[in-house]
């Protein structure tokens, strides 16, 4: 009981500290004006998962009611996106998701902190949209067992396919991203990986480079026949650090519409920070 009270207080302090850091970045950053068309263009590119823009997003998430002991889970996704020009007509976009996870009192063995498994996606995408304005990409996806604690990863190597399609019309962006990954090697004592990930999304970008985004990040586990369905609502703002460095910062909430047994419940928090490196 004492440990649970201590953990709750620690997490509340961490939430206050992170919120203060985000607000501090807002205060120190150069504001974007309605006439800053470059920032608006960058904001729209950030709504496109396969845009020709190098970016390094850091995405902090906090969930509650997680695990058999109904503890908290906090994790930071480090998500570099690096496009490469393959030829005059095609780009190759590398998207990496490396989580740093903190499970507080929600596992039978107690708390755990460290790296989780890495998901690496590679999209082959035409440089020009179709005649109807569709932007799309597809390619392989890989699961890498980079977890530093057994409870933080699957212990499996995985491979599969991924695809994304979207359309941008005026201030609106809407589309969807998905993948399916099967385990192909790894610890034979661990459960097989056979999961589908679906992320329909939409966003609206204002003339001041503020983006309002709504998505779900649903996962279906074919082994356990269970869904995880968080619904995320975000507000992201383009800023400039100093005079030249463009960045995006965001704050949002999530609601778990459905979760597997022992999964997170209710409301959660998401904070975004991304460094952008336009060509």
Tens digits of residue pLDDT in 219-229:
999 999 999 99
Query: Mean pLDDT across the stretch 93-110?
Result: 81
- Which residue did the predictor score with more confidence, 19 or 244? 244
pLDDT of 243 reads 80
Given a contact cutoff of 8 angstroms between Cβ atoms, the answer to whether 101 and 114 are in contact is: yes
Q: Which helix (H) or strand (E) holds 15?
A: helix 2-28
CB atoms within 10 A of CB 261: 7
Grade residue 120 by pLDDT with cuts at 50, 70 and 90: very high
DSSP annotation of 190 reads S
Within 8 A by CB and 6+ apart from 229, the residues are 216, 218, 256, 257, 258, 259
pLDDT of 10 reads 46
Given a contact cutoff of 8 angstroms between Cβ atoms, the answer to whether 123 and 138 are in contact is: yes
Grade residue 111 by pLDDT with cuts at 50, 70 and 90: confident
CB atoms within 10 A of CB 84: 11
Per-residue pLDDT at 276 exceeds 80 = yes
* pTM summary value: 0.86
Q: Distance (Å, rounded) from C-alpha 39 to C-alpha 276?
A: 11
Q: Distance (Å, rounded) from C-alpha 54 to C-alpha 239?
A: 16
Tens digits of residue pLDDT in 124-167:
999 999 999 999 999 999 999 999 998 889 999 999 999 999 99
pLDDT of 263 reads 81
Q: Distance (Å, rounded) from C-alpha 195 to C-alpha 226?
A: 10
pLDDT of 169 reads 95
Mean pLDDT for all residues in the chain: 87
- Which residue did the predictor score with more confidence, 247 or 37? 247
Residue 182 buriedness (CB in 10 A; 0-12 / 13-18 / 19+) = middle
pLDDT of 7 reads 41
Tens digits of residue pLDDT in 52-77:
999 999 999 998 877 666 778 899 99
Q: Which helix (H) or strand (E) holds 10?
A: helix 2-28
Per-residue pLDDT at 34 exceeds 70 = no
Tens digits of residue pLDDT in 170-203:
999 999 999 999 999 999 999 999 999 999 999 9
Q: Distance (Å, rounded) from C-alpha 189 to C-alpha 8?
A: 34
Query: Mean pLDDT across the stretch 102-113?
Result: 70
Of the listed ranges 2-11, 66-75, 115-124, the one predicted with least confidence: 2-11
Per-residue pLDDT at 3 exceeds 50 = no
Taking alpha carbons only, the member of 88, 170, 165 closest to residue 129 is 165
Grade residue 103 by pLDDT with cuts at 50, 70 and 90: confident
Per-residue pLDDT at 78 exceeds 70 = yes
- Which residue did the predictor score with more confidence, 161 or 102? 161
Q: Distance (Å, rounded) from C-alpha 86 to C-alpha 131?
A: 21
């Amino acid at each position: 009981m004492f440990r649970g009270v201590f953990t709750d207080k620690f997490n509340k302090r961490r939430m206050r500290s992170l919120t203060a850091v985000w607000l501090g970045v807002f205060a120190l950053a150069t504001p974007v004006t309605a006439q800053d068309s470059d920032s608006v263009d960058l904001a729209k590119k950030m709504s496109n998962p396969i845009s020709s823009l190098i970016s390094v997003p850091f995405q902090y998430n906090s969930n509650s009611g997680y695990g058999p002991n109904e503890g908290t889970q906090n994790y930071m996704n480090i998500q570099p996106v690096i496009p490469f020009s393959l030829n005059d007509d095609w780009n190759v976009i590398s998207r990496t998701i490396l989580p740093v996870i903190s499970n507080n009192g929600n596992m039978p063995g107690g708390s755990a902190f460290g790296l989780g498994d890495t998901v690496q996606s590679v999209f082959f995408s035409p440089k020009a949209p179709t005649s109807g304005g569709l932007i799309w990409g597809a390619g392989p996806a890989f699961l890498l067992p980079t977890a530093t604690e057994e409870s933080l990863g699957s212990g499996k190597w995985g491979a599969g396919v991924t695809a994304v399609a979207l359309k941008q019309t005026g201030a609106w962006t809407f589309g969807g991203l998905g993948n399916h990954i099967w385990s192909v090697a790894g610890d034979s004592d661990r459960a097989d990986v056979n999961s589908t990930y679906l992320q329909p999304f939409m966003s609206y970008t204002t003339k001041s480079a503020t983006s309002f985004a709504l998505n779900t990040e649903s996962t279906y586990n074919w082994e356990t026949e269970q869904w995880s369905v968080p619904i995320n609502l975000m507000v992201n703002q383009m800023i400039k650090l100093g005079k030249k460095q463009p960045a995006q910062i965001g704050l949002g909430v999530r609601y778990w519409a459905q979760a597997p047994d022992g999964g997170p419940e209710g409301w959660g928090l998401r904070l975004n920070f991304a460094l952008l490196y336009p060509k």
